[in-house]
A and B are shown apart, each in its own frame.
Chain A
């Protein structure tokens, strides 16, 4: 019968363990594995493969007017950089972008601060974002042109529109997500009002705020290039979008590609250098993001 079965009673033992020296306790990973751990190397490989594919495709179609190769684009890019035309265009675009982006961020913080402190502010934020977030910034451009004229004013207006809503939504979600214990700890230290927001809420919501900044940046950059493509130069000074549009009209397809490459390069630099280093010294270091 099963109930009769008893486990055997075995003798006890106790032995003194000698220091462990047979095998090293830690080992270094092989070089290939360590190299593969490097993000820049993996991403560089992806970029190289894409460039190779592009060049191959261009050689195969063999039509410089439709698809100039990677090397042709690079030489057009080098030329544009050398005669500083491209750099001027980039500078003009970035100045406008900076104005719109920064004002959008400031407005988003004001709106969010209002939203975390009052019921009315919460309602205001949710209503406004529900109304305006789905509205494409470009759709406002004709109206902006009417109001602010053919200048950087209307560009800044659409940029603010493209940054403000996603940024406010993300920041607000970040503030809402701060754990109760952390809030109580902050209040326990006697913090309240603005110092409380600065020393507890903002750092604790930084992952969400950073992702809002990233989304806002992408929206703004995208909106700016598109807006420049649509209405081009303001008082004779066009940005990068205008450069692309102009060269397409003149069928300099390699310069169009150079302009596009510049747009991509700036996006990549901002993403991998600026935002990645901000993340590395803040949220990653603090263990809030893996």
Chain B
């Protein structure tokens, strides 16, 4: 368990006095949802191949992908377009069925979509426009029959407050900016208290300044709630900042090339030498494919 070993090593070097350091520690000890057996991952993806069909052919999106996500991990799938990372996330959400391999969440195979894995999509139209912000956040709670009406409303208010949108609780989605809509989507996901939060390039459609702010807020929320996150992005910087562990996928078809730890980085370390080196390393791994593969990727 290299991951656990790293965590322990970190804990040993910084004996409890540096509070900001603990903020960056993705350890499950502080998490309320810590599994008894630390060796059992919350999500295990084993040999998963995914295919999708166009009118003329069957395309293999990912080929025998393996990775594990532990409770309170912020696990990032990073890769160029065409590496099947979004398809992989949708498979975890239950929208696609693997042609081979298995996805298990808490030991149970994933078969269909469900409110224990709430997805935050990139598109802004994921929020039903006929519901106000408060109703939108409460919607999955009511639709899935998780809690009663009153409890759902209370929880909705709580999480709307967490993402700083209390003033807009009664606004409709079309009255909000893109960043605010994504905040609502995140509040909605958190309010459901899913086993896992799945984010599919949630900030890609935002402007750079808003994206930066949203990353910061997401990390602050994680620090407070300690949810388990699976995050898809094509931005190396975003992967390093948001994630504590990054899986690098190669394109056509998507295969896991490497997994790296990035728990040391946050938004404050963007300019630092270590960060730049890490970016460069990932950049090299993303692009130093041999010519044959590169042309295959370009096609």
A binding-site residues for B, Cβ under 8 Å: 179, 181-182, 184-191, 195, 199-200, 203-204, 206, 282, 285-288
Contacts and interface: CB of A to CB of B under 8 A. Distances in A.
B119 A188 contact: yes
A150 to B, nearest CB: 45
11 contacts: A179-B125, A181-B126, A182-B128, A185-B126, A186-B143, A188-B115, A188-B119, A189-B139, A190-B113, A285-B172, A288-B174
Interface in B110-140: 112-115, 117-119, 121, 123, 125-130, 139-140
B95 interface: yes
Interface residues of B, number: 26
B194 to A, nearest CB: 10
Interface in B98-120: 112-115, 117-119
Contacts of B143: 186, 189-191, 195, 199
Contacts of A203: 128, 130
Given A184-B113, A285-B172, A287-B173, A189 B140 contact: yes
A285 B128 CA distance: 13
B125 A182 contact: yes
Nearest to B117: A188
A185 B128 contact: yes
B93 interface: yes
Contacts of A282: 130
Nearest to B143: A189
A187 B130 contact: no
Contacts of B112: 187
A206 B144 CA distance: 23
A188 B174 contact: no
A191 B130 CA distance: 17
B128 A204 contact: yes
Nearest to A285: B172
Interface centre among A181, A199, A200, A203 (most CB of B within 10 A): A181
Interface centre among A186, A188, A191, A285, by most B CB within 10 Å?
Answer: A188
Contact of A181 (B113, B121, B173, B174): B121
B175 interface: yes
B113 A187 contact: yes
Contacts of B93: 184, 188
B5 to A, nearest CB: 35
A15 to B, nearest CB: 23
Given A188-B93, A195-B143, A287-B174, 13 more contacts: A179-B125, A181-B123, A181-B125, A181-B126, A184-B95, A184-B121, A184-B126, A185-B126, A187-B113, A188-B118, A188-B119, A189-B139, A286-B129
A46 B206 CA distance: 45
A74 B4 CA distance: 88
Contacts of A200: 128
B119 A286 contact: no
Contacts of B118: 188
Nearest to A195: B143
A200 to B, nearest CB: 7
B139 A287 contact: no
A82 B175 CA distance: 49
A286 B144 CA distance: 23
A143 to B, nearest CB: 42
Nearest to A203: B130
Contact of A185 (B90, B114, B119): B119
Contacts of A190: 113-115, 140, 143-144
Contacts of A181: 121, 123, 125-126
A238 to B, nearest CB: 43
Contacts of B125: 179, 181-182
List of 6 A-B pairs having minimum Cβ-Cβ separation, nearest first: A287-B174, A189-B140, A189-B143, A181-B123, A190-B144, A286-B129
A288 B115 CA distance: 26
A189 B128 contact: no
Nearest to B122: A181
Contact of A189 (B115, B121, B172, B173): B115
Given A282-B130, A287-B129, A188 B113 contact: yes
Interface in B160-192: 172-175
Residue from the set B119, B130, B143, B173 with the largest chain A CB neighbour count within 10 Å: B130
Contacts of A288: 129-130, 174
A203 B127 CA distance: 12
B168 to A, nearest CB: 14
Contacts of B115: 188-190
A282 B130 CA distance: 7
A246 B22 CA distance: 90
B220 to A, nearest CB: 25
Contacts of A206: 130
A206 B130 CA distance: 10
A70 to B, nearest CB: 43
A282 B172 CA distance: 11
A52 B117 CA distance: 65
B123 A286 contact: no
